[in-house]
Structure 1
């Protein structure tokens, strides 16, 4: 077997589960196919355990850890990473950076909070799963993709000038935080002078 069949452990995007209120297991299951590193915020733990998912790290406040030490045995090998509700995203991404991960799916992260992620995007590929939407950043500022007839969301800095081209023609307009765009079947190109995010229904 040639060497390219071997996947280095950290090449698989990690999965960070922050909120399960609007997410079903069927949406998360494809992300788990290649047994990635899984980090789970304490408030989602019961849901994720009920899905039968192998968890590597529980993101938890110290009081939660003290009350739930039995999890270290029940779910061995597993570890706690101390954090707070305010810092859970940055702490989990710093942990992944330290363990040589370069990509992660953030499950239950609100795309309206993406400004929190900007400092991480230089060294990490991040995808957000929020309800029935998947969001990803366009770091190159130039996006080109084939879509079925559908609605996409473009999210970014207020008044960011966008240039959109597809079989409907060419559009130029300023972005208003969240812009919903009906795209025809075929290739859509989007350009902007700064990073922006694309949301697709999943």
Structure 2
């Protein structure tokens, strides 16, 4: 199956780059395998260009567009997507929903604010990259995955209960600020009656 098929059907997760602080090209490169749609906030454009990435849309305020009109030619066929009031994330997500994308990796978003995104989960699968971790939502109450031994962050509103099952053992965690759990190699099952987010380390700290 070709990458063209994935792009045409908008099945490959888009890449929305808001902030590159703490990230390198090597971190981002695996997300580019199937030539996803790449959206970049105006402040990160030069960094992303220096990485050699092809940008599809620059999320930009009017002043930036006027001052950097040359980018439309130099980075053809890049386009500007107008942004008002620093709403880079909101405008980017609205564009992806309108163009029938099904998923997006968001680079450089504060995981403490993910709860504000949960209304978008009906339209998009979201993965949040907040160096050095990435966070994904568990929407249906149960998550099951094989891990090599790992440290996970369970992220949900304070007071949320999440059950962690490993082999035949089960523990209930009441979420407080920065709740981390250690899981051994094997299959881990996480359960809650509410939406929660799981954070994994994706780079050394």
Residue 8 (structure 1) shift: 5.0
Residue 84 (structure 1) shift: 4.1
Indicate the residue corresponding to 1:183 in structure 2. Answer: 183
Indicate the residue corresponding to 1:118 in structure 2. Answer: 118
> What does 1:18-33 correspond to in 2, within 5 Å?
18-33=18-33
CA RMSD of aligned residues (A): 1.8
Indicate the residue corresponding to 2:6 in structure 1. Answer: 7
Indicate the residue corresponding to 2:130 in structure 1. Answer: 130
Indicate the residue corresponding to 2:67 in structure 1. Answer: 67
- Bigger shift: 22-31 or 160-169? 160-169
- Does the Cα contact within 8 Å between 2:15 and 2:107 map onto a contact in 1? yes
Q: Measure, in 2, the Cα distance between the counterparts of 1:152 and 1:132.
A: 12
Q: Measure, in 2, the Cα distance between the counterparts of 1:86 and 1:116.
A: 16
- Structure 2: stretches of 5+ with no match in the other structure: none
Indicate the residue corresponding to 1:43 in structure 2. Answer: 43
Q: Measure, in 1, the Cα distance between the counterparts of 2:115 and 2:189.
A: 24
Change (3 A) 1:94 1:58: same
Output the TM-score relative to the length of structure 2: 0.92
Indicate the residue corresponding to 2:100 in structure 1. Answer: 100
Would you identify which runs of 4 or more consecutive aligned residues in structure 1 move more than 4 Å? none
Q: Measure, in 2, the Cα distance between the counterparts of 1:146 and 1:177.
A: 25
Residue 87 (structure 1) shift: 1.4
Any idea what SS the aligned residue of 2:6 has? coil
- Does the Cα contact within 8 Å between 2:7 and 2:37 map onto a contact in 1? no
- Does the Cα contact within 8 Å between 1:166 and 1:187 map onto a contact in 2? yes
Any idea what SS the aligned residue of 1:7 has? helix
Q: Measure, in 2, the Cα distance between the counterparts of 1:74 and 1:167.
A: 55
Any idea what SS the aligned residue of 1:66 has? helix
Note the alpha carbon deviations across 1:89-126, whole angstroms, 9 max, x for none.
Answer: 11100001111101000011111110221111011101
- Does the Cα contact within 8 Å between 2:7 and 2:35 map onto a contact in 1? no
- Does the Cα contact within 8 Å between 1:167 and 1:184 map onto a contact in 2? no
- Does the Cα contact within 8 Å between 2:11 and 2:102 map onto a contact in 1? yes
Residue 166 (structure 1) shift: 0.8
Change (3 A) 1:135 1:17: same
